[in-house]
Structure 1
Amino acid sequence: MIERKLTIKQQAFADYYIQTGNATEAAIKAGYSERSARQIAEQNLTKHDISNYIKEKMEEIASERIADATEVMEYLTKVMRREINEFVPMTVSKEESKWVDGKKQTTKEESVEIVEIPARLSDANKAAELLGKRYAMWTDKQEINANITPVFVDDISGDNNGG
């Protein structure tokens, strides 16, 4: 089946529908009249070209949002190598001393600052463990693949007298 191009309004409707999930609202935002928006929205959703466009765009969005196996493995490797930094709050103490009326007065001031540090060793170890599991580096079971052909031994003698 040859698909025709969507009109500007139809594409706008489909794009707004993807954003909002509300067909009537999408129709109004796309420029259809408020009076007929619900009816137009229902019609548009049943049109093959528009529904295919919506389906394709939704699949695109889903594939961009969901990490694939390669992305996960690359992330775990970066964490294991401590190439990824994290931001942690750290309490910083500042001490000031000044002389007032011949006496030394010291004031302490504490503040919280956000500090960038490499990934924690515990995170790196967990990433290494997950990578090791993926590559079956430390399995307790041994997998043996063997092609075994059964051998039958005829141990029944030819006489029927038991012996």
Structure 2
Amino acid sequence: MRLVALTEKQKRFCDEYLIDLNATQAAIRAGYSEKTARQTATENLSKPYIREYIDKRLAEKDAELIADQDEVLKYLTSVMRREKNEHIVVTTSEEKTTYVPDETGKVRRQTVKKEVPQIVEIPAKLSDANKAAELLGKAHGLYTEKIETDVDMELNIKIDYGDSNEN
């Protein structure tokens, strides 16, 4: 289909529609009258060239979100080489002791324990690297088994057409 040039308002409508997929609100935000926004939105969405523009933009968004083959292979390679680090949360305990006088004048010890979470970076596990290497090997066809067998047999085929009168 030949792409028809959209007007600025139609393009703005399409771009606004892609934000939340609410056609009426997109029409209002694009500058159409609030009174006729619903009808205008319906008309716009029924026009093939506007629908085509929206579908094209949605496909572009999907392409950005979904990893392609190269991205997957690069990621697996970086895991195999242990270039990727894992982030784990480690909780450490801190104790703070203070001495405070009570109402009788005696000094009492007051201990406050506090747990502090920290994010720590550690190298990827060896098992993850091994799994990545295995997946890369499969992707490159390194583990395909080739089995050759010699078969020596006699083949007899009997065809029964069912028209014999054996009763």
The question of a shared fold, defined as TM-score above 0.5 by the shorter chain, is answered with: yes
Question: Which ranges in structure 2 are unaligned for 5 or more consecutive residues?
Answer: 99-110, 149-167
Structure 1 letter corresponding to 2:121? E
Q: Residue 119 of structure 1 corresponds to which residue in structure 2?
A: 124
Partner amino acid, structure 2, of 1:130: L
Deviation at 1:97, TM superposition (A): 9.2
Provide the C-alpha distance between the structure 2 equivalents of 1:91 and 1:61, rounded to a whole number of angstroms.
Answer: 39
Q: Distance in 2 between matches of 1:89 and 1:3?
A: 52
Match of 1:101? none
Amino acid at match of 1:17: Y
Q: How far is the alpha carbon of 1:52 from its aligned partner?
A: 1.8
In structure 1, what is the equivalent of residue 84 of structure 2? 84
The change in CA–CA distance for 1:111 and 1:46 in structure 2 (over 3 A counts) is same
Q: Which amino acid aligns with 2:143?
A: W
- Which aligned pairs between 1:60-71 and structure 2 lie closer than 5 A? 60-71=60-71
Name the CA shift for 1:110/1:4 in 2 (closer, same or farther; >3 Å).
Answer: closer
> After the TM superposition, which of the residue ranges 84-93 and 63-72 deviates more from structure 2?
84-93
CA distance, structure 2, for counterparts of residue 75 and residue 94 of structure 1: 38
Residue among 131, 136, 139 paired with 1:131: 136
Alpha-carbon deviations, 1:110-139, whole Å to 9, x = none? Answer: 432111122222211111111112123233
Q: 1:32 to 1:109 in 2, by over 3 A?
A: closer
Match of 2:146 in 1: 142
Q: Which portions of structure 1, spanning 4 or more consecutive aligned residues, are displaced by more than 6 angstroms?
A: 95-98
- Aligned residue number for residue 58 of structure 1: 58
Q: What's the secondary structure of 1:113's corresponding residue?
A: strand
Partner of 2:162: none
- 1:151 corresponds to: none
What TM-score does the superposition give when structure 1 sets the normalisation length? 0.72
Instruction: Point out where structure 1 has 5 or more consecutive residues left out of the alignment.
Output: 99-105, 145-163
With the length of structure 2 as denominator, give the TM-score of the two structures.
0.70
Partner SS, residue 92 of structure 1: strand
C-alpha distance in 2, partners of 1:20/1:93? 45
CA distance in 1: counterparts of 2:18 and 2:75, whole angstroms: 30
Q: Secondary structure at the match of 1:138?
A: coil
